[in-house]
Chains A and B, each alone.
Chain A
């Protein structure tokens, strides 16, 4: 089987209107090895965060550790036994300038191990908390991932924000 081009665009969600606080990808095929979600956009409230859930699971199965620099200092934070996976903790996202989030879910369709994700987030704004963030998170479930939800801890995504889902297939 020829591997061919293995970085495939699966879907893109573009936010319209002013009331969207949650964006989901569902019915994700299990035919890839890794998933990558790329977010670009602003939140309506400064110093906000984006939280993630898999397969609509609301149990206390999520945890994460991350580090960030804000121009004056480097810091690290962690949360365990959460009902969502934080990509920052009520900080790090800006309402004035664009934010980027690159969210890697590796081996998402295996059913033998918990799922570990890598993420990077950044903005260069001055209206919120300018930051460069890198983190790792755990979903302590062995189920294959078939749905991912990105929701704001408060506020909404501003119109024009985009979430793009990609699949990578190993040979």
Chain B
């Protein structure tokens, strides 16, 4: 269960040095398997965060996230999806996880996703995220658009991503970026 932060970045020789409007904060590539990946000690110097994922799981699974390690039933979500033949929508309330979308197990096929966590340091409101995610396995696949609300007013300082029931597989990569406002 890698927990990545400034220190982890320094160990790889890639120092965090914010200087632009869209900065890379940290990234991680799975070398074997990992149950989860955590970005911790996220600086409060940005306006928005973006997590970019290209990953496989040990089984066809849901890709979830938690903020600040909160395991309470403080998350709600809505989604729309298309699987090539039908579309659908769903929702979940009082959940203990937020959602990025779907993650698959097909050999050599990686799910991809972009998770935007907006206004993550604002302590006057709940934190809302948006994710576009999916995979295609040449004959099967899904595209999903998720919204998740974290019903907590704390500033986000850590993000943990994990397959709901399995683990990240080798070559899965997850990167965290910070986006500045003016």
Contact = CB atoms under 8 A, between A and B. Distances in A.
Interface string A140-171: 10100000000000000000000000001111
Contacts of B145: 134
Nearest to A85: B136
A89 to B, nearest CB: 11
A2 B142 CA distance: 37
A74 B80 CA distance: 10
Given A5-B21, A107-B173, A116-B135, A76 B87 contact: yes
A66 B27 CA distance: 28
A106 B16 CA distance: 22
Interface of B is mostly: strand
Contact of A171 (B9, B22, B135): B9
A47 to B, nearest CB: 19
B137 interface: yes
A138 interface: yes
Nearest to A6: B24
Contact of A142 (B108, B114, B177): B108
Interface string B30-52: 00000000000000000000001
A64 interface: yes
A135 interface: yes
Interface of A is mostly: strand
Contact of B14 (A1, A138, A142): A1
B132 interface: yes
Given A4-B17, A65-B136, A171-B16, A116 B109 contact: yes
A42 B42 CA distance: 41
B80 A80 contact: no
Given A3-B17, A6-B20, A34-B52, A113 B171 contact: yes
A105 B153 CA distance: 34
Given A6-B177, A74-B87, A78-B136, 16 more contacts: A2-B15, A4-B19, A5-B20, A33-B173, A63-B136, A63-B139, A63-B141, A64-B141, A66-B82, A76-B86, A106-B110, A107-B54, A113-B54, A116-B110, A138-B138, A140-B108
Interface of B: 9, 13-17, 19-27, 52-54, 80-87, 108-114, 132-139, 141-143, 145, 171, 173, 175, 177
Interface of A: 1-7, 33-34, 63-68, 74-78, 80-81, 104, 106-107, 110, 112-114, 116-118, 120, 134-138, 140, 142, 168-171
